[in-house]
């Protein structure tokens, strides 16, 4: 078999060329790792800012927090791949994962996940006990509560999964200030409420794949009309949350409000569009830009 091209036959399918590095990135879901890194850094940065802690004297904490949180996310995603290997071949977006193609043994994927989580947790506990505990809560909620328990059983799986996705900014803040407070909890709430409309948009776009895999996502169980209503409700719930971060000042509140109104308008526009899948794609793209602009904005606003 050529080193430049690997063809795997799983259930009679052929898969494109890949490399060990690409397989590793697929196993740890690098996209999820990167997005969580942004929110972790935001929580950490704001904690440094509001506790008047100098950036340069905290380089060790910053390193341990960013690398540690990334490792536990990567490890959790690896275990997710290990658990879902029996259904991933049924979905277009997951059928080329190394656990499906057979390029990486399942036992090695599980071992990789556990090692990454262990190293990441050690690093987080080296910052504060609170950060380490929150890290464990994130791992447990994603691996156990979401992947092993709710994902294949309940239509509320997306909401359950939102717990783990909202944890990173808490970790970032707790690594600097273990006492937490209102601001990190506000960051948690924003991340928690942001996720359902984001992942419902994905579920609408991939509804037939989820149906084939037997995953009870909201569009599969309740249909598009109900899903659109739920998405609108979650977007409305976002509207007051930036005001919990009023200490960031008027420029941030203006930015956040503009983003929220834009998302609300797009959500309402979904009732007029005839192409639900096109609307879901617009909602998905907007949600990604919303998260990036909002959290990067929180950092940049502290320089004004």
Q: Within a domain: residue 9?
A: no
Tally of domains within the chain: 2
CATH number at residue 136: 1.10.357.140
| Residue 39 sits in the same domain as residue 167 | yes
| Residue 175 sits in the same domain as residue 194 | no
Q: Within a domain: residue 4?
A: no
| Residue 54 sits in the same domain as residue 155 | yes
pLDDT one-digit tens code per residue, 137-190: 999 999 999 999 999 999 999 999 999 999 999 999 999 998 888 999 999 999
| Residue 41 sits in the same domain as residue 97 | yes
Tokens of 85: 């290997």
Q: How many CB atoms lie within 10 A of CB 19?
A: 12
Q: Decide which of 162, 180, 198 is a domain's last residue.
A: 180
pLDDT in tens, the chain (304 residues): 332 333 343 444 555 677 889 889 989 999 999 999 999 999 999 999 999 998 888 999 999 999 999 999 999 999 999 999 988 888 888 888 888 888 889 999 999 999 999 999 999 999 999 999 999 999 999 999 999 999 999 999 999 999 999 999 999 999 999 888 899 999 999 999 999 999 999 999 999 999 999 999 999 999 999 999 999 999 999 999 999 999 999 999 999 999 999 999 999 998 888 899 999 999 999 999 999 999 999 999 998 7
| Residue 255 sits in the same domain as residue 114 | no
For the chain, the average pLDDT equals 91
58 vs 46: CA distance, rounded Å: 13
Residue range of the domain that includes 270: 182-304
Contact 216, 193 (CB under 8 A): no
Concatenated DSSP letters of the chain: --SS-----BTTB------HHHHHHHHHTHHHHHHHHHHHHHHHHHHHHHTT--SGGGHHHHHHHHHHHHHHHHHHHHHHHHHGGGTGGGSTTTTTSHHHHTSS-HHHHHHHHHHHHHHHHHHHHTT-HHHHHHHHHHHHIIIIIIIIIITTT-TTHHHHHHHHHTSHHHHHHHHH-TT--HHHHHHHHHHHHHHHHHHHHHHHHTHHHHHHHT---HHHHH-HHHHHHHHHHHHHHHTTGGGGGGGG-HHHHHHHHHHHHHHHHHHHHTTT-S-HHHHHHHHHHHHHHHHHHHHHHHHHGGG-
| Residue 173 sits in the same domain as residue 271 | no
Q: Within a domain: residue 12?
A: no
| Residue 176 sits in the same domain as residue 29 | yes
Q: Within a domain: residue 170?
A: yes
Contact 157, 219 (CB under 8 A): no
């Amino acid at each position: 078999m050529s080193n430049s091209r690997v063809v795997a036959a799983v259930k009679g399918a052929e898969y494109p060329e890949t490399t060990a590095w690409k397989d590793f990135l697929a196993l740890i879901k690098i996209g999820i790792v990167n997005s969580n890194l942004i929110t972790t850094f935001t929580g950490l940065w704001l904690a440094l800012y509001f506790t008047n802690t100098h950036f340069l004297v905290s380089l060790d904490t910053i390193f341990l927090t960013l690398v540690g949180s990334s490792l536990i996310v990567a490890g959790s995603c690896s275990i997710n791949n290990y658990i879902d290997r029996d259904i991933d071949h049924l979905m277009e977006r997951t059928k080329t994962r190394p656990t499906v193609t057979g390029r990486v043994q399942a036992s090695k994927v599980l071992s990789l996940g556990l090692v990454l989580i262990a190293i990441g947790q050690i690093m987080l506990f080296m910052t504060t006990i609170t950060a380490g505990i929150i890290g464990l809560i994130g791992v447990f909620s994603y691996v156990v509560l979401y992947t092993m328990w709710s994902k294949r059983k309940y239509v509320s799986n997306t909401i359950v999964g939102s717990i783990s996705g909202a944890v990173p900014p808490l970790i970032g803040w707790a690594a600097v200030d273990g006492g937490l407070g209102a601001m990190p909890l506000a960051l948690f709430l924003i991340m928690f409420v942001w996720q359902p409309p984001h992942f419902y948009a994905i579920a609408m776009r991939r509804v037939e794949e989820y149906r084939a895999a037997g995953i009870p996502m909201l569009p599969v169980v309740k249909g598009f009309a109900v899903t659109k209503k739920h998405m609108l409700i979650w977007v409305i719930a976002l509207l007051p949350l930036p005001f919990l971060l009023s200490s960031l000042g008027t420029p941030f509140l203006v930015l956040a409000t503009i983003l929220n109104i834009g998302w609300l308008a797009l959500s309402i526009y979904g009732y007029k569009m005839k192409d639900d899948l096109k609307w879901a794609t617009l909602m998905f793209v907007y949600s990604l830009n919303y998260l990036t602009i909002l959290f990067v904005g929180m950092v940049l606003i502290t320089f004004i």
